[in-house]
Amino acid sequence: MEVKAVTKYVRLSPRKARDMARAIQGLRVADAIKTVEFSERKAARQLEKTIRSAVANAENNAKLSADDLRVKEATIGEGPAMKRFWARSRGMVSRIRKRTSHVTIVLSDGK
């Protein structure tokens, strides 16, 4: 059985978070949490929160044991970007895109 948790509108660039998500894919939940706990990246904290949410969903809604769960899929999707402008010389502007992400974690018990 699969259980899913999504964290939306995280103020984090998707490109910077995807390599962290690839690192935990396929790991057991305990190993994935250890991996992100000891990482100093901003993406690690958001991934940890989403993994813990998915584990809580599995235990409370699907009545699954956390010991049997694996991270089947960890994806970072693009959310909306906030557009800001930066004043430049001679009356021009440069665009700044403050990107957001949608973090999706799918856990599976392997059955």
User: What is the rounded average pLDDT of the residues 22-37?
Assistant: 95
For residue 110, give the 3-state DSSP assignment: coil
pTM over the 0.85 mark = yes
Q: What is the CATH number of the domain that holds 19?
A: 3.90.470.10
User: What is the rounded average pLDDT of the residues 27-47?
Assistant: 95
Question: If you average pLDDT over every residue of the chain, what do you get?
Answer: 94
Q: Dihedral (C-alpha) 3, 9, 14, 68: value to the nearest 10 degrees?
A: -20
pLDDT at residue 111 greater than cutoff 70 = no
pLDDT at residue 34 greater than cutoff 70 = yes
User: What is the rounded average pLDDT of the residues 34-58?
Assistant: 95
Give the domain range for residue 63.
2-108
Number of domains composing the chain: 1
User: What is the rounded average pLDDT of the residues 72-81?
Assistant: 96
Q: Give the pLDDT score at 71.
A: 95
